[in-house]
Amino acid sequence: MKGTSLGATVHYFTTRLLNGIQKQEKIKPYKVSSIQSVPSHIIRPSYVGSISNPAIVKDPEVHDDTGIHHMRNAGRLAASALEYARSLVKPGITTDEIDKAVHKMIIGAGAYPSPLGYKGFPKSICTSVNEVAFHGIPDLRPLEDGDIINIDVTIYLNGYHADTSKTFLCGNVNNNAMQLVEVTEDCLEKAISVCGPGVEFKELGKIFIDIAGKYGYSVDTSYAGHGIGKHFHSAPCINFCEDQAGCMMAGQTFALVYGSAEPLLSLGSIEYELWDDNYTFVTADGSLSAQFEHTLLITKTGVEILTKLS
Ligand code: MF3
Ligand code: CO
Ligand code: CO
């Protein structure tokens, strides 16, 4: 991952000018509350409590009928947790409060919140507000009217992970931000619609670049989709590059993610900066970033979105 370190004490009072219409302060780091506990009966992924970081598993996740059954259950719970998170988004609530509520719901369903303790991540979900592109840590910042917030939920149930994220609107969001969010979701849906056995992963990148290009949005190519199932992150790494190798296989599960940023100063791919917390990636020019992610199952005839509630 690329990015330069910013001092956590730097104050981001620079204002962002959105097409000359709206000025908004940049997001700055707030206090992060203490770590939440998980009841001992809940089965943890093997990386939790281990001193070595989990490597990205080199084999793709291809499942038999039992595995598919577990993936469907994991997907359904991840989707319900994300819908619950959506219902909490409103001006005044802190991302810490959202994290605590979703944490409670996930453990109540007998599952483990996969980010908690993954490479030292201190919270159960990722919350990325405005120009925070991904892996934002829930903290004591109250959401403001006009914010956009990506909430990324991954759960581990009966030995299987499912991963999904959406960008939500908080209160009255300006038209530019609303369009960025809508187009980004649309891009992901269009890409999902072409998925199926034998389809090359590189087809997906073409769709994103096509649609994003029409709106002048930058395409996020550093943040990648990934195999998911028994492991949180496995092959393939799906990053929309032209040379992306491989085809989708029946029985395979992977998380497909798409992010884009508003046209401001950046053109082409997005430049990021990494906060001192080593997780929070913000767009270098302060432009708004939206992102959506689904866990997919390739079936014999097409694709099933495991993290979509029917
Ligand atoms: N859910 C994220 C993904 O899409 C990963 C979060 S891991 C964390 O892959 F450590 F940052 F939480
Ligand atoms: Co995710
Ligand atoms: Co993911």
Report helix, strand or coil for 159: coil
The predicted pLDDT at position 23 comes to 47
The predicted pLDDT at position 242 comes to 61
Residue 163 Cβ inside 6 Å of ligand 1? The answer reads yes
Residue 135 Cβ inside 6 Å of ligand 1? The answer reads yes
The C-alpha atoms of residue 128 and residue 305 are separated, in whole angstroms, by: 23
The predicted pLDDT at position 15 comes to 38
Atom of ligand 1 nearest to the CA of 119: 10
Among protein residues, the one with the nearest Cα to ligand 1's atom 5 is 115
The C-alpha atoms of residue 72 and residue 208 are separated, in whole angstroms, by: 26
Tokens standing for residue 82: 């994300």
Give the containing element (helix H, strand E) for 77: helix 65-88
- Residue among 86, 94, 128, 106 at smallest CA distance from 279: 128
The C-alpha atoms of residue 172 and residue 146 are separated, in whole angstroms, by: 5
Atom of ligand 1 nearest to the CA of 125: 12
CA 281 to chain centroid, in Å, comes to: 12
- Residue among 282, 286, 308, 139 at smallest CA distance from 223: 282
Residue 126 Cβ inside 6 Å of ligand 1? The answer reads yes
Helices (H), 89-223: 95-108, 175-193, 202-215
Report helix, strand or coil for 142: strand
Overall pTM > 0.85: yes
Cβ-based neighbours of 301, under 8 Å, separated by 6 or more: 196, 197
Which residue type, as a one-letter code, is found at position 153?
V
- Residue among 285, 297, 306 at smallest CA distance from 60: 297
Atom of ligand 1 nearest to the CA of 293: 4
- Residue among 64, 80, 302 at smallest CA distance from 192: 302
The predicted pLDDT at position 22 comes to 46
pLDDT in tens, 160-194: 999 999 999 999 999 999 999 999 999 999 999 99
Among protein residues, the one with the nearest Cα to ligand 1's atom 12 is 115
Give the containing element (helix H, strand E) for 295: strand 289-298
Residue 152 Cβ inside 6 Å of ligand 1? The answer reads yes
Report helix, strand or coil for 80: helix
CA 18 to chain centroid, in Å, comes to: 24
The predicted pLDDT at position 102 comes to 99
pLDDT, tens digit only, all 310 positions of the chain: 333 333 322 222 233 444 434 446 899 999 999 999 999 999 999 999 988 888 888 999 999 999 999 999 999 999 999 999 999 999 999 999 999 999 999 999 999 999 999 999 999 999 999 999 999 999 999 999 999 999 999 999 999 999 999 999 999 999 999 999 999 999 999 999 999 999 999 888 888 888 888 888 887 776 789 999 999 999 998 877 666 779 999 999 999 999 999 876 545 667 889 999 999 999 988 999 999 999 999 999 999 999 999 8
Q: What does the buried/exposed string (b/e) look like for 61-83 if buried means 16 or more CB atoms within 10 Å of the residue's CB?
A: bebeeebbebbbbbbbbbbbbbe
Q: What domains sit in the chain, N to C, each tagged with a CATH number?
A: 8-19+53-305 (3.90.230.10)
* Residue 19 alpha carbon to ligand 3 centre in Å: 31
Among protein residues, the one with the nearest Cα to ligand 1's atom 3 is 163
Helices (H) and strands (E) in the chain, counts: 4, 17
